[in-house]
Structure 1
Amino acid sequence: CPYMKPFIYMKKKGIHIINLNKTISKLHKYCNLLKEIVASGKNILFIATKKQAKFIVEETSKKNNMPYVTERWLGGLLTNFSTFHKSICKLNTLEIEKKTGTYNSLSKKELLMIERIKNKLDENVGSISTMNNLPEAIFIVDIVCENIALKEAKKLQIPIFALIDTNSDPRSVDY
């Protein structure tokens, strides 16, 4: 992408070498903005479905009690958040009921059905179960892979932080 040219040091055997001097200054600036958002008690939704980034995003998000998506992006997660929030509430309710022993009087079949529902909800919305409302910002690893999340955030005017590759257009993100 021609807009990434200032951040490319050189091209060697078809591979772009990133200019670390220009990149590091931007990285420090945007990390400080992210720290301010977190310090104010607001959530940042981290999104990384690429195999290379899944683990680090999941571990870091869990450690900082932030919502994250490392599996398939569920269309409408941001633009139709009220529906997803109902699923999050249902999951939280099921977990509380399980801990308090509400299910002790149920039959094996009923327990199995509830467990299946809980597992499906956990698979779909478990990583965002701490989100009670839309995030203050989103952080995307690779906007080419996460283009639907990018479009949803733009539509809702949620600030977008991203790590982008040299084949991406940096104008499509805020930071």
Structure 2
Amino acid sequence: MAVVTMKELLQAGMHFGHQTRRWNPKMKRYILGERNGIYLLDLRQSLSGIEQAYIYIRDMVADGGNILFVGTKKQAQDAVSNEAVRVGMPFVNERWLGGLLTNFTTMSSRTAKMRDLERRQRLGEFELMPKKEALLLTREMEKLQRYLGGIRNMERVPDALFVIDTKKEYIAVTEANRLGIPVVAIVDTNCDPDVIDFPIPGNDDAIRSTSLIARVIADAVSEGRRLAAYRGNASAPSTEEMATPEANPEEIKRKAQEQMRARVLAQQQQKEREARLLEAKRKAKEERDAADAAQTDAEAGDSTEATDAGASEATDAGASEATDAEAAVAASDSAGGESEA
């Protein structure tokens, strides 16, 4: 039985390319013709590309490999996330962060940070923090979840990439090529097929066509897991293994104790912060009081000096005036004596 039929491709609009003025000459071998200024792709080659990609992904997953679904354009976001989650594979459907593959160690630390923040929120630590601190951590966690939520469980570099729209995701394709990671991708008439290991000629703009190919790739993953189970290969995790296991009573009790310890610790830290704040306020008040007292003493000293200076000047002025009066009387007496003579 064929992986997909020609009728399904036609109904999904897989054969529609871009306008003739927007094309990559390297795609010429996949173009069947042109109609009303739009290129039409050869669906026979599309079928061949789909079958080759299907077989490769099936065998790769059966050998314990994993594949990263990539599609950040609006038409592909839902298809990428839904199909990747269905088969328990990692995905990126928001923005591709540069270095996600070539700097995977740093990205792993960021996903670990995201998981730690989620754990702290579950334990109720955010509720015991100051509102501003809790708000900042919540925003950081939400940002990490938005961009890295799809790769939270990706512990190593993927063995292959499935990409929708290689022109938009050229950074992801470049990183994969640099690391030698095979790329399976839908290539439209404006794409470069030479940088893709398993090109699938087709329309990468229509929701129906992208959803169809994403479903086929996910089906290949599922069949690879079944094949691994048939072979007895335990290295290929099943979808059930990827799911979160149900917690037993002991696990629930342990988590409750951990949550209680976290609450007590958070309360102690809150009390310590409040004590430090009160101590800082007390010291600041003492410093202000000391400064005010020093300023008051300085002003009082200046007032005393001014009073003493005023009194001294008044005394000197009075003495000077008395001396002048005595001199005047003496002069008057001297003048009277001379007149009598």
Consecutive unaligned residues in structure 2, runs of 5 or more? 1-23, 199-341
Kept after mapping to 2: 8 A contact 1:43/1:131:
no
Task: Report the identity percentage.
Answer: 39
Query: Which residue, out of 139, 160, 163, partners 1:137?
Result: 160
Kept after mapping to 1: 8 A contact 2:92/2:147:
no
Partner of 1:87: 110
What is the Cα-based RMSD across aligned positions, in Å? 1.8
User: Scaled by the length of structure 1, what TM-score is found?
Assistant: 0.90
Q: Distance in 2 between matches of 1:120 and 1:146?
A: 20
Q: Distance in 1 between matches of 2:92 and 2:145?
A: 12
1:36 is the counterpart of 2:36? no
Equivalences for residues 56-75 of structure 1 within 5 A: 56-75=79-98
Equivalences for residues 1-175 of structure 1 within 5 A: 1-103=24-126, 105-175=128-198
Consecutive unaligned residues in structure 1, runs of 5 or more? none
More displaced 10-residue stretch of structure 1: 70-79 or 100-109:
100-109
Q: Distance in 1 between matches of 2:81 and 2:33?
A: 32
Aligned residues: 175
Q: Distance in 1 between matches of 2:116 and 2:65?
A: 23
Please state how far the C-alpha of 1:67 moved relative to its aligned partner: 1.4
Please state how far the C-alpha of 1:62 moved relative to its aligned partner: 1.5
Letter in 2 for 1:69: V
Kept after mapping to 1: 8 A contact 2:90/2:151:
yes
- Quick check: which one's helix share is greater? 2
Change (3 A) 1:118 1:172: same
Q: Distance in 1 between matches of 2:121 and 2:63?
A: 33
Larger relative contact order (CA 8 Å, sep ≥ 6): 1
Q: Distance in 2 between matches of 1:146 and 1:161?
A: 12
User: Scaled by the length of structure 2, what TM-score is found?
Assistant: 0.48
- Quick check: which one's strand share is greater? 1
Q: Distance in 2 between matches of 1:84 and 1:151?
A: 17
List, as ranges, runs of 4+ consecutive aligned residues in structure 1 with deviation greater than 6 Å.
none
